[in-house]
Chain A
Amino acid sequence: MTKLNDYDKAVETYEPVLGLETHIELDTNTKMFCGCSTVFGAEPNTQVCPVCLALPGALPVANRAAVEATIKIGLALNCHIAEWTRFARKNYFYPDMPKNFQTSQYEEPLCEEGYVDVVVEGREYRVEIERVHLEEDTGKTLHVGGATGRIHGATESLVDYNRAGIPLVEIVTKPVPGTGALAPEVARAYTAELRDIVRSLGVSDVRMEQGSLRCDVNLSLNLPGDGWGTRTETKNVNSLRSVERAVRYEVRRQSALLDAGERIFQETRHFQETTGETRAGRSKEEATDYRYFPEPDLAVMEPSRAWVEELRAGLPELPRKRRERLQASWSLGDKEMQSVVNADAVDLIESTVAAGATPSGAVKWWLGELSRRANENGDELGALQITPAQVAQLQGMVDDGRLNDKLARQVIDGVLAGEGDPADVAAKRGLEVVSDTGALEAAVEEAISANPAVADKIRGGTHAAAGVLIGAVMKATKGQADAGTVRQIILDKLS
């Protein structure tokens, strides 16, 4: 069993240094070096050709759109765009990599030296970007047991090359020191910001659950005043929540080892989605020698300054600017807006407002009831089975007095259970507010005769006592009455 320190104690003693490598699949129409389609979810080995299957003799030709997308990402991350850049071969054997080398970039990446600013708990952190380069994705390997096999008990693998050759942008940060106890939150905020930036550029749909954004998390610890420690690289970190968990876990694990006087090995570890642990790779064979060299089958690239400026001029509003604009138009304070960002609710709220809700209503639902439910299930907010349009409809029903908050929560239950739009759920479950004044007046009469003393108090001018009668009416109508209306009827009758 791996020994883990308490997190808070660990960060009291050690200073974490973060590093993040992010791979983003571009959503170009075709692959990086061939004309095969990139549509997700096709039947196995139907989007392959001589080039991406690495048949003997096939040659690559670079996709202009992928190069442009990478330059756009570089520009959005405040990078310098290379005047002269080229592809390189990274040589290693792996069955999901058809050529047994990855066409990537080595000493001359397309973009270098940028930064991303993120705000965590009111403090701004600058994450410096070392490089942004363009490469290609691998195929997908399905690991199966002996069931399909000729050999009992043997495990084997099945390879589908549809994904092989899809353009992949790799974004590497410089080491990020100085985050202290907030290292997990900074890592998450950076990843979220990167995702939002790339999404705003329209060059990738950045779906972590489909693997179109994948993170490797580097982490080392050192004692204050000491040089940086040995880092580990954790692969397979594929959700924002996992990024946070992976950092937290490594801090706890590494600090326990250091406390025990042991040393950290520079190694690759794998994140376990189910347990939140990181696990070492099985073998520690000889260090990999990738034998990089310039790709002789591709021409060098010299992005002209005119081209770069044209791309820069075409950049859309970036997330930070957009957040500032939305914060103003939603009339939110800094703290409130930060909560919206942390909850990953900017897009959701914007869509909800666009669907007709008031900003305050949209914020209230997404940050309140809906966030609570997401947390309960350990889900991201966006993963909830409710759309911004449905939230807007819900809020509209509340504004119209057709639902009160309590009923609205029950309607949410129905929507999340897949029973349809809020209006359908309310109708099916009979959750409308009772607006029939005849029925309400009868219920009020009943409450008055059951509570004569309270009624006298109200008659005597103590309007606050109305609460007791309202409670009784609500109870009698199973919560489906509108409290304001009930109060008005009571006061009318008793004054």
Chain B
Amino acid sequence: MSTISREEVAHLARLARLEVTDDELDAFAGQLDVILESMKTLAEVNTDGVQPTSHAVPLVNVFREDQPQPSLSREAALSGGPDTFEDRFRVPRILDEEA
């Protein structure tokens, strides 16, 4: 029985903004299945009363003082932009946007 359907992979791809091809959908669905089966073994582990580990070495209250540091120059900031115009990053029209 497969854990993850082709449709589900397509939905995940949309969430992740990936325009996957039909071939990829098929391949991924099969491959993810194997991986997810392995992951399901975690369900058998007893973790009652266990605290989660989010960081290898737990640190608390790591803060920065509120003192300005130099920003990038505008040229440097825009240097990687595929398309810039009037010192801004230009993007195509956005759906669902009040113009």
Among A44-52, A442-450, A485-493, the stretch in contact with B? A44-52
Contact of B86 with A158 in the complex, beta carbons under 8 Å = yes
- From residue B42, how far is it (CB to closest CB) to chain A in Å? 16
Bound Cα distance from A131 to B47, whole angstroms: 30
- From residue B55, how far is it (CB to closest CB) to chain A in Å? 7
Q: Which of these, B63, B85, B99, contacts A155 with CB under 8 Å?
A: B99
Cβ-based interface call for A301 (8 A): yes
Cβ-based interface call for B78 (8 A): yes
Q: Which of A3-51 contact B (CB under 8 A)?
A: 28-30, 34-37, 43-50
Contact of B88 with A158 in the complex, beta carbons under 8 Å = yes
Cβ-based interface call for B1 (8 A): no
Cβ-based interface call for B74 (8 A): yes
Contact of B68 with A45 in the complex, beta carbons under 8 Å = no
Contact of B71 with A157 in the complex, beta carbons under 8 Å = no
Among A141-149, A209-217, A334-342, A411-419, the stretch in contact with B? A141-149
Among A58-66, A71-79, A375-383, A464-472, the stretch in contact with B? A58-66
Contact of A43 with B87 in the complex, beta carbons under 8 Å = yes
Contact of A29 with B66 in the complex, beta carbons under 8 Å = yes
Contact of B77 with A35 in the complex, beta carbons under 8 Å = no
Q: Which of A153-205 contact B (CB under 8 A)?
A: 154-161
Contact of B71 with A36 in the complex, beta carbons under 8 Å = yes
Q: Which of A276-298 contact B (CB under 8 A)?
A: 279, 281-283, 285-286, 289, 291, 294, 296, 298
Given contacts A63-B64, A64-B63, A156-B93, is CB(A46)–CB(B69) below 8 Å?
no
User: Size of chain B's interface in residues, with CB distance under 8 A?
Assistant: 40
Cβ-based interface call for B59 (8 A): yes
Contact of A62 with B93 in the complex, beta carbons under 8 Å = no
- Please indicate the chain B residues that have their CB under 8 angstroms from the CB of A296 in the complex: 54-55
Cβ-based interface call for B67 (8 A): yes
Please, what's the 1-or-0 string for B78-99, where 1 marks a CB less than 8 Å from any CB in chain A?
1010000111111111111111
Given contacts A53-B72, A67-B63, A289-B15, is CB(A283)–CB(B88) below 8 Å?
no
Q: Which of B14-72 contact A (CB under 8 A)?
A: 14-15, 17, 54-55, 58-72
- Please indicate the chain A residues that have their CB under 8 angstroms from the CB of B71 in the complex: 36-37, 46-49
- From residue A65, how far is it (CB to closest CB) to chain B in Å? 4
Contact of A282 with B69 in the complex, beta carbons under 8 Å = no
Q: Which of these, B59, B67, B90, B93, contacts A299 with CB under 8 Å?
A: B59
Given contacts A35-B64, A46-B74, is CB(A282)–CB(B95) below 8 Å?
yes
Nearest to A91 among chain B residues (CB) is B15
Nearest to B59 among chain A residues (CB) is A299
Given contacts A156-B93, A296-B54, is CB(A61)–CB(B87) below 8 Å?
no
Bound Cα distance from A296 to B60, whole angstroms: 12
- Please indicate the chain B residues that have their CB under 8 angstroms from the CB of A50 in the complex: 72
Contact of B85 with A158 in the complex, beta carbons under 8 Å = yes
- Please indicate the chain B residues that have their CB under 8 angstroms from the CB of A46 in the complex: 71, 74, 77
- Please indicate the chain B residues that have their CB under 8 angstroms from the CB of A45 in the complex: 74, 77-78, 87-89
Contact of A63 with B91 in the complex, beta carbons under 8 Å = no
Given contacts A159-B89, A270-B98, is CB(A48)–CB(B60) below 8 Å?
no
Given contacts A62-B63, A157-B91, A158-B89, is CB(A35)–CB(B69) below 8 Å?
yes
Nearest to A148 among chain B residues (CB) is B85
Given contacts A49-B72, A155-B99, A302-B61, is CB(A44)–CB(B66) below 8 Å?
no
Q: Which of these, B62, B68, B90, B99, contacts A158 with CB under 8 Å?
A: B90
Bound Cα distance from A283 to B68, whole angstroms: 40
Given contacts A44-B87, A95-B94, A159-B88, is CB(A49)–CB(B61) below 8 Å?
no
Contact of B68 with A154 in the complex, beta carbons under 8 Å = no
Q: Which of these, B55, B60, B89, contacts A301 with CB under 8 Å?
A: B60
- Please indicate the chain A residues that have their CB under 8 angstroms from the CB of B55 in the complex: 296, 299
Bound Cα distance from A166 to B17, whole angstroms: 26
Bound Cα distance from A24 to B96, whole angstroms: 24
- Please indicate the chain A residues that have their CB under 8 angstroms from the CB of B60 in the complex: 299-302
Bound Cα distance from A257 to B82, whole angstroms: 47
Bound Cα distance from A286 to B85, whole angstroms: 33
Q: Which of A473-492 contact B (CB under 8 A)?
A: none
Given contacts A65-B66, A154-B93, A282-B95, is CB(A299)–CB(B61) below 8 Å?
yes
Contact of B86 with A44 in the complex, beta carbons under 8 Å = yes
Chain A: residues with CB nearer than 8 A to chain B? Answer: 28-30, 34-37, 43-50, 53, 55, 61-67, 86, 93, 95, 141-143, 148, 154-161, 270, 279, 281-283, 285-286, 289, 291, 294, 296, 298-303
Mind listing 11 A-B residue pairs with CB under 8 Å? A64-B65, A66-B66, A95-B94, A142-B88, A157-B91, A281-B96, A286-B11, A289-B15, A296-B54, A300-B58, A301-B60
Given contacts A64-B63, A157-B97, A296-B55, 16 further A-B contacts (CB under 8 A): A30-B69, A35-B64, A45-B87, A63-B66, A86-B54, A95-B89, A148-B86, A154-B93, A157-B93, A158-B91, A298-B62, A299-B59, A300-B54, A300-B60, A301-B60, A303-B61
Q: Give me the 8 closest cross-chain CB pairs, A-B, nearest first.
A: A35-B69, A65-B66, A64-B63, A158-B88, A299-B62, A61-B64, A299-B59, A155-B93
Chain B: residues with CB nearer than 8 A to chain A? Answer: 11, 14-15, 17, 54-55, 58-72, 74, 77-78, 80, 85-99
